[in-house]
Amino acid sequence: MSTTIEQLEGYVVDAYASFKERRQKDSHWLKQLREEAFERFRAIGFPTTHEEAWRFTNVSSIAQTPFRLGSEDDFSVSQQDLEEYRLVEFACQLVFINGYFAPELSWLAGLPVGLEVSSLAAQIDEDPESIEPHLDRDRSAPLDSFEMLNTAFLQDGAYVHIDRGAVVKDPICLLHVSVSGVPPIMSHPRNLIVAEEGSQAAVIEEYVSLDGGLGFSNAVTELIAGEGAAISHYLVERENLQSFNVSTLHLRQGRDANVSSHSILLGGGLVRNNVHPVLGGEGAECLINGLYVGSQRQHLDNYMLVEHASPHCNSRQFYNGILDGQAHGVFHGRIIVQKQAQKTDAKQTNRNLLLSDDARIDTKPQLEIYADDVKCTHGATIGQLDENALFYLRARGIDEVSARNLLLQAFAGECLDRMHEPAPRKFIEGLIGQRLADIGRADLRASGSGHRQPDEIVWEEAG
């Protein structure tokens, strides 16, 4: 096996060698952290579909494309290029081009009291002690080889620090922009968000591409929510359909912390969205909300690993998927309830709409419960647009395209209703509206007015 890995991941080995050369001056602990991660990656390589967590997602195209690390000066992006990505009223917007912080494109003026933001690169250079205790705290157990890869190439990303008790009203926006190159470029952004005790904020982490070219973004975001903190995280993936995008969100929650994760996957060709909350403090609550909308040949994989490590914690997972064309969606919801996590209340719901005969969804719950006094439920539905509802709307004068669109919006609306901050909600509602309008038009062209018998698959279990 190892020879195969050497061949496939040769580009990674080369990239790492020159990266290491360039980063000689970094702190010893950081270099060691990278080295360990790289050695681990080298030992196992990219995941294959033989692994349970990757059964439905084949990443050989990532392994076989010789990506290179971009450099800070091989792109030129202007303020004008980014105009359409400034839709939200934000507290600040940090812009990253191919993983590198671009201060001249970012908006950091007039930060509210209690909010500190900068690039991870700046923290590494100027104040590495500020990040050391937080970075990769779970060093013993990285989620997968993509995370190892990210840690091996760790150099830049966002650093957000919210002071104890600070309430940040407007969202903190992290805009990750891909610009394609030849050979294609990979980036490994690392975002670190530290929310101290009793603080409150919303973070929007968005991935976009400025052109139609191929790229690979492999991000890891670590969000640490202190005791009683209330933090919302919004992931918005809307890169072009050539893009590979892997993102991993680690949520570490202290006592009574309330965290919500909202993942909105609208773009990207091959997308893997890992969400990994660890409810480590008593009374913590976690909402894991998501919507994936795929068309053409998009592959959108959502891997949830919810870890209940303390008693009296609640987690709620709600993911809705809309799949058209030959799109393939995956929802893998794994819940681990550790022995000491009594009185856990965990719920998981995955609902899917398949709009074409070739669209596909694989949905899979995986419950591992080691405590004996817990409530865990999970359920999934797979269905098509309700023909009765469609006819009802049309019989009132609403044309077929609009009627389909209304029904899709209603389905996606369930996800929007779980977003409680008005600004991100409104922004995401707009993006979803556009995406669904595109799908509605394409779908009508493809299928004509042919109709199918509605068949629905539903399963639900309680444990």
Cβ 417 to another protein shortest distance, Å: 8
Number of H-type helices and E-type strands within the chain: 10, 22
Whether residue 254 contacts residue 283, with contact meaning beta carbons closer than 8 Å, is answered with no
Sign of CA dihedral 356, 364, 188, 227: positive
Bridge partner list, 203: 172, 233
Q: Token pair for residue 24?
A: 């000689």
Cβ 64 to another protein shortest distance, Å: 42
For another protein, give the closer residue by CB, 290 or 365. Answer: 290
Amino acid at 257: A
For another protein, give the closer residue by CB, 282 or 414. Answer: 414
Cβ 238 to another protein shortest distance, Å: 23
CA 280/CA 199 separation, integer angstroms: 18
Q: Token pair for residue 94?
A: 């940090």
Q: Token pair for residue 37?
A: 């991660």
Give Cβ neighbours of residue 112 (< 8 Å, ≥ 6 apart): 91, 166, 168, 169, 170
For another protein, give the closer residue by CB, 313 or 415. Answer: 415
Residue 50's alpha-carbon distances to 46, 47, 54, 56, 59, in angstroms, are 11, 8, 7, 9, 12
Amino acid at 393: L
Cβ 380 to another protein shortest distance, Å: 18
For another protein, give the closer residue by CB, 191 or 320. Answer: 320
Sign of CA dihedral 85, 89, 94, 99: negative
- Going by C-alpha positions, the residue among 82, 96, 90 that lies closest to residue 111 is 90
Q: Which residues bind another protein (CB under 8 A)?
A: 386, 388-389, 391-400, 402-403, 406-407, 409-411, 413-414, 449, 451
For another protein, give the closer residue by CB, 140 or 449. Answer: 449
Cβ 354 to another protein shortest distance, Å: 18
Cβ 455 to another protein shortest distance, Å: 15
Cβ 400 to another protein shortest distance, Å: 7
DSSP-derived letter for residue 396 is T
For another protein, give the closer residue by CB, 343 or 394. Answer: 394
For another protein, give the closer residue by CB, 39 or 399. Answer: 399
